[in-house]
Amino acid sequence: MATPVIRAIWSDFERPMVKQQDGDITRDVEIEAIKNSIANILTTNPGSRRMVPEFAVNINKLLFEPIDEITARMIGETLLDGINTWDDRVQVQSLSIIPNHDYNQYDCSLNFMLITSQNIQTIDFILSS
């Protein structure tokens, strides 16, 4: 039986990396691949990619600052700059960074539009130290 061919514009390794029964790594395609790309931009430490050491955003230092509106704004600016620099397939529509003092974290929501389809997607995530 022939292996089905997945035709996709974009693909990326599924997060977390999981092996399939044939030993290959599972991959995400299309919108899930783009969401993985954004997650990689947000979670990769600057300098950790050998061939592209400037890749990623440096928000770790901001997560140890006081949890307030000023720090939230700085985090938002850093995230927007990173996404605009490293993923040209999306256009950010809105980014919400809300300080959550009760849990020592920021509750975040990113709305972005795919350049190729005008399709708007949302990613909700938490940033904490």
Query: Which pLDDT belongs to residue 8?
Result: 47
Angle between helix axes 69-86 and 31-43 (nearest 10 degrees) is 120
More confident residue, 6 or 112: 112
pLDDT in tens, 64-75: 999 999 999 999
Count the domains in the chain: 1
pLDDT in tens, 65-117: 999 999 999 999 999 999 999 999 899 999 999 999 999 999 999 999 988 88
Asked if the structure places residue 5 within a domain, the reply is no
pLDDT in tens, 13-52: 555 556 667 766 666 557 888 898 899 898 888 889 889 9
Asked if the structure places residue 86 within a domain, the reply is yes
**Residue 32 class from Cβ within 10 Å (0-12 exposed, 13-18 middle, 19+ buried)?**
middle
Asked if the structure places residue 113 within a domain, the reply is yes
Query: Which pLDDT belongs to residue 46?
Result: 87
* 42-65 burial: b if 16+ Cβ within 10 Å, else e: bebeeeeeeeeeebbbebeebeee
Indicate the Cα dihedral angle 7, 13, 17, 20, nearest 10°. Answer: 20
Global confidence as pTM? 0.77
Task: Work out the percent of the chain whose per-residue pLDDT is above 70.
Answer: 78
Query: Which pLDDT belongs to residue 93?
Result: 96
Query: Which pLDDT belongs to residue 117?
Result: 83
Question: 3-state class of 36 per DSSP?
Answer: helix
For the chain, the distance separating the N- and C-terminal CA atoms, rounded to the nearest angstrom, is 49
Residue-range definition of the domain harbouring residue 19: 11-46+56-128
Q: Which two tokens stand for residue 87?
A: 């993923």
Asked if the structure places residue 4 within a domain, the reply is no
CATH, residue 114: 3.10.450.40
Query: Which pLDDT belongs to residue 107?
Result: 98
